[in-house]
Amino acid sequence: TSVVATLFVLYDFARQVGGEDVTVSLLIPPGAEPHSFEPSPRDVVAVRKADVFFYGGKAMDPWAERLVAQTSGKGPVIADASRGIELLYAGEAHVHGDEGNHHEASPGDGIDPSGGDQDRGHADPHFWLDPVRALTMVDTIRDALTAADPAHGASYAERARVLKNELKALDEEIRHTLARRIGNIIIFGGHNMWRYFAARYGLEFLSPYPGFSPEAEPQGRRLVELTELMRTRGLSVIYHEERIDPKTARVLAEATGARLEVLHGAHNVSPEEIEAGVSYISLMKENLATLQTDPGLFPDSAE
C-alpha cells in the first residue's frame, strides 16, 4: 500500500502503523518549511497515484484541500489528520493546565500568549504537539490504511495500539517530569506553535509573533515586553524552532544575555534526521530533556 504524507509526524505515524505493509513517502521534502510549501505538478501526480494521502488539515496544509479537489476519479483514500481533534483558535482565552484547570495569576498574565488579535478566528494547526491529541491522529491513520487495504486491517490495528501505548507513556513521562518544575513561563522566539503543549501541561509559552506561521512578523512592543519580563523574572533561556533562522530569538538573547535552545516542532526534519531514524516520540523526548536544562523551570538544572 503506497502512502503519501505532508508532515513528518504523519509520515512517522504512518510508517509505524503501516509497518511492512506500506511504503510511505514524505511529500514535503526533508528540511523544507511546511508552512510555505506549494506542491509541484510532480507532487500532484504522486498524490493521485497513492493509495492513501494524509495531510494536516485546512489550517496547516491549505494547498492540500485544493489538491484533493483536483483528484478526480479513482484517487487515494484521503485523510485529514485534524479530523476529530478539538482545535484551539487565536484570540481564545489561553488555557492553563490540562485543558481547563485555571491557574493563579502569574507575572506573564499581562502578556497575551496568542500575541494579540491579528489572527483572531484562525485555527492553530500545531495540534500534534499535544501527545494526547496525537492519539486521535493514530486512529485516523489506522482507519485510512484499513479502508485502503482491509486485508491487513488486523495488523494496522495492532500496530496502532502499540503506538498509542507509546504516546500514552510519553504523556505520562512529560507529566511526571514537569511535576518538578518551579516555573511556568517559556519564552519562545519563534512563531506561535506551542499552545497545545502549553494547554495540556500548564505552561505559558510567550512569543513575540502574533500568528501561527513563521512568515508572520514579530511585534516590536512584544519584544520590549518580553525583554522586560525576562529581566524581572531572571529568565535565562530563549527557545526557537528548528531549521529557521532564529533572528528574533537572537535579538532577545542579545538584549538579555540569555542562551538559545531549540524546541523541535516535528513539522519536518532534515535528511540527516531521517537517516538517523528520528521519530515524533524521540523529538518530543529531546524537547523534554532541553526544558530540564532551564533554571527558570527546574531548580536543579545547571546554567
% residues pLDDT > 70 (the chain):
84
Question: Could you tell me which residues come within 8 angstroms of residue 123 by beta carbon, excluding any fewer than 6 positions away?
Answer: 57, 58, 59, 87, 88, 89
Q: Single out the residue in 146, 169, 192 at which a domain terminates.
A: 169
**Any idea which of 26-40, 180-194, 239-253, 282-296 has the lowest mean pLDDT?**
26-40
In a domain, 284, yes or no: yes
Which pLDDT does position 260 carry in this prediction? 96
**For residues 95 and 85, is the Cβ–Cβ distance under 8 A?**
no
Indicate if 219 and 254 belong to the same structural domain: yes
Indicate if 159 and 25 belong to the same structural domain: yes
Indicate if 115 and 149 belong to the same structural domain: no
DSSP 84: T
Indicate if 247 and 222 belong to the same structural domain: yes
Q: Output the pTM of the full model.
A: 0.87
DSSP 164-181: HHHHHHHHHHHHHHHTT-
Indicate if 72 and 207 belong to the same structural domain: no
In a domain, 248, yes or no: yes
As given in the structure block, the three cell numbers for residue 58 are: 485546512
Indicate if 25 and 77 belong to the same structural domain: yes
Q: What is the CATH number of the domain that holds 31?
A: 3.40.50.1980
Indicate if 153 and 8 belong to the same structural domain: yes
Query: Measured between alpha carbons, how far apart are the two ends of the chain, in Å?
Result: 49
Total domain count, the chain = 2
**Any idea which of 21-35, 84-98, 170-184 has the lowest mean pLDDT?**
84-98
Indicate if 18 and 36 belong to the same structural domain: yes
pLDDT digits (tens, 9 = 90+) for 43-75: 888 999 999 999 999 888 878 878 877 776 668
**Any idea which of 24-33, 116-125, 150-159 has the lowest mean pLDDT?**
116-125
Indicate if 206 and 147 belong to the same structural domain: no
In a domain, 301, yes or no: no
Pairing of strands 185-188, 237-240: parallel
**Rounded distance between C-alpha atoms, residue 137 and residue 86, angstroms:** 12
In a domain, 152, yes or no: yes
Amino acid at 177: T
Indicate if 152 and 218 belong to the same structural domain: no
Higher pLDDT, 33 or 232: 232
Amino acid at 47: V
Look up cell 511556568; give the residue.
184
Residue 7: Cβ-neighbour burial (10 angstroms; 0-12, 13-18, 19+):
buried
Which pLDDT does position 93 carry in this prediction? 43
Indicate if 35 and 162 belong to the same structural domain: yes
DSSP 34: G
Q: Single out the residue in 150, 169, 188 at which a domain terminates.
A: 169
pLDDT digits (tens, 9 = 90+) for 94-149: 444 444 433 333 444 334 443 433 344 588 999 999 999 999 999 999 999 999 99
- In what helix (H) or strand (E) does residue 239 lie, and over which residues does it extend? strand 237-240
Q: By C-alpha distance, which of 242, 203, 239, 240 is closest to 103? A: 203
Alpha helices in the chain (DSSP H): 8-18, 41-49, 62-70, 131-148, 153-178, 195-201, 220-233, 247-256, 271-276, 280-291
Which pLDDT does position 79 carry in this prediction? 95
Indicate if 45 and 121 belong to the same structural domain: no
pLDDT at 222 over 80: yes
In a domain, 50, yes or no: yes
**Residue 156: domain span:** 2-85+131-169
Which pLDDT does position 226 carry in this prediction? 94
Look up cell 488539515; give the residue.
57
Average pLDDT over residues 13-21: 98
